[in-house]
Amino acid sequence: MTLTRIQRAAQVAGKSLAGRDTPFIFNEWYVAALSREVSREPLARTILGKTLVFYRKQDGGPVALSNRCAHRSFPLDKGTLVGDHLVCGYHGMRYNELGEVIEVPSQASCGGISIRHYPLVEMGPVIWIWMGQPEQADPATIPEMPMLEDGWVTSEDYMDLKANYVYLHENLLDLTHLSFLHANTFGTPDYARADFDVQISDTRMWLKRYVMPTRLPPVWAKPTRLEGKDAARITTSDFVSPALHIVHAEFYDLALAESERPDQRIKTAHIPTPSTATETHYFVVHGRNFALEEGDVTDFMHQQLMAAFQEDVVGLQQQEILMAAEMDDNYFEISVKSDAASVAMRRYIKRRANEEQGLITTDAPASSTAPTAPAAPATVGNIPVPV
């Protein structure tokens, strides 16, 4: 079938954007699990397409190994944890926490059999993992989660998202969708039309939206005591890394002078860890810097937010199903102005993936964080499209 001129331009531009078929980026820290998920009971989880097994040593330290026994591919999570060692449930190969076989029951020696182990760093409610080249694993490069600092109270959760992780990042970088996908939870009709700023560096993308005056939905109005008031709702979508997106929000009563406003902020870490090309571990760590002692506020907000994020899960899964069916030679996506940050993000992820695959070389390292002028998206007609 024939595409229009705009559709064809969008199709060409789309080739530089990450999507369902983009290889994973390995040289990044990802969240592997919530701390509370890893215990003395071995846990199997697929991350970046690799099946891993997680457990805790007797001293509580977490361990991640390939879940595939080097001998005959039996899943190690079906084995037995003995002290700090995992014993395969098929022929009894015994692995230490470095993935080295230290016992082969049917013979005297072990001869250097091993599987891969993965560096882990536990930070508050989450456990980070390094899936990339071992010599590059530097805990100093784990991205910061500001809601874990003193003076904040947090809650966390996990969802299984049957869609590619890139589209969760895209979802978060343009909250226009709050007025539609979340019309029944924390969206309001004025959200989609509010002004916004975009900032783009080589590796980080922000979109800041100013909704004011507005009436806050219950999830924000109740804990901030701004019910029925003309309020400001200022939200920053912040792509921190392929493994982390943080939404920063502040709220205040427009009737109050700036000096009189209480400091009421929300920070929510959205943490998409790819499982496979079409499945993502979606972790959430949510924090606030007010009403710190009120446990019922924590419960109320947690429950309200997870209901809203579940709407994203449902929507992204519907999108995934449609893409799987329709992604043929005539496929295209047309971008608009509010996509500027997410288009930059998808180009960045694609470039990083290509670099790891050795498909392109660049003079500037992809991990450079030197800010540059925001890329002005090209336009077809008056619609911005990526170039």
Residues of the shown chain interacting with its own copies in the complex, contacts defined by CB under 8 A? 1, 4, 6-7, 10, 46, 50-51, 67-68, 70-75, 78-79, 87-92, 104-107, 109-114, 116, 133, 167, 170, 174, 176-177, 179-181, 192-193, 196, 315, 318-319, 321-323, 325-326, 332-338, 379-383
Which residue in 163, 186, 195, 143 sits closest to 304, CA to CA?
A: 186
Q: Are 28 and 241 in contact (CB under 8 A)?
A: yes
In angstroms, what is the minimal distance from the CB of 29 to its own copies?
A: 17
Strand order in the sheet with 62-66: 43-47, 50-56, 62-66
In angstroms, what is the minimal distance from the CB of 258 to its own copies?
A: 28
In angstroms, what is the minimal distance from the CB of 217 to its own copies?
A: 17
Please say which residue, 45 or 229, places its beta carbon nearer to its own copies. Answer: 45
Please say which residue, 155 or 317, places its beta carbon nearer to its own copies. Answer: 317
Please say which residue, 26 or 300, places its beta carbon nearer to its own copies. Answer: 26
Tokens found for residue 313: 């899960």
- Per DSSP, the residues of 152-164 read -EEEEEEEEE-S-
Please say which residue, 6 or 221, places its beta carbon nearer to its own copies. Answer: 6
In angstroms, what is the minimal distance from the CB of 104 to its own copies?
A: 5
Please say which residue, 1 or 257, places its beta carbon nearer to its own copies. Answer: 1
Please say which residue, 192 or 247, places its beta carbon nearer to its own copies. Answer: 192
Strand order in the sheet with 126-130: 29-34, 126-130, 120-123
Length of the chain: 387
Q: Are 173 and 205 in contact (CB under 8 A)?
A: yes
In angstroms, what is the minimal distance from the CB of 350 to its own copies?
A: 16
Whose tokens are 């009403």? That residue is: 291
Measured at the CA of 13, the angle between CA 12 and CA 18, to 5 degrees, comes to 110
Please say which residue, 69 or 285, places its beta carbon nearer to its own copies. Answer: 69
Whose tokens are 């991350």? That residue is: 47
Tokens found for residue 87: 């014993």
- Return left, alpha or beta for 35; rule: phi > 0 is left, psi -120 to 50 is alpha, else beta: alpha
> What contacts 243, CB < 8 A, 6 or more positions away?
28, 29, 30, 31, 143, 271, 272, 273
Q: Are 139 and 272 in contact (CB under 8 A)?
A: no
Please say which residue, 318 or 368, places its beta carbon nearer to its own copies. Answer: 318
3-state DSSP assignment of residue 183:
coil
In angstroms, what is the minimal distance from the CB of 311 to its own copies?
A: 10
What does each C-alpha distance from 106 to 91, 103, 109, 116 come to in angstroms?
A: 8, 9, 9, 23
In angstroms, what is the minimal distance from the CB of 160 to its own copies?
A: 17
- Return left, alpha or beta for 99; rule: phi > 0 is left, psi -120 to 50 is alpha, else beta: left
In angstroms, what is the minimal distance from the CB of 279 to its own copies?
A: 12
In angstroms, what is the minimal distance from the CB of 370 to its own copies?
A: 29
Name the DSSP letter for residue 114: B
Please say which residue, 87 or 243, places its beta carbon nearer to its own copies. Answer: 87
In angstroms, what is the minimal distance from the CB of 275 to its own copies?
A: 11
Which residue in 180, 204, 200 sits closest to 192, CA to CA?
A: 180
Please say which residue, 56 or 94, places its beta carbon nearer to its own copies. Answer: 94
Dihedral sign (CA 317, 319, 320, 326): positive
The CA distance from 283 to 149, in Å, is 18
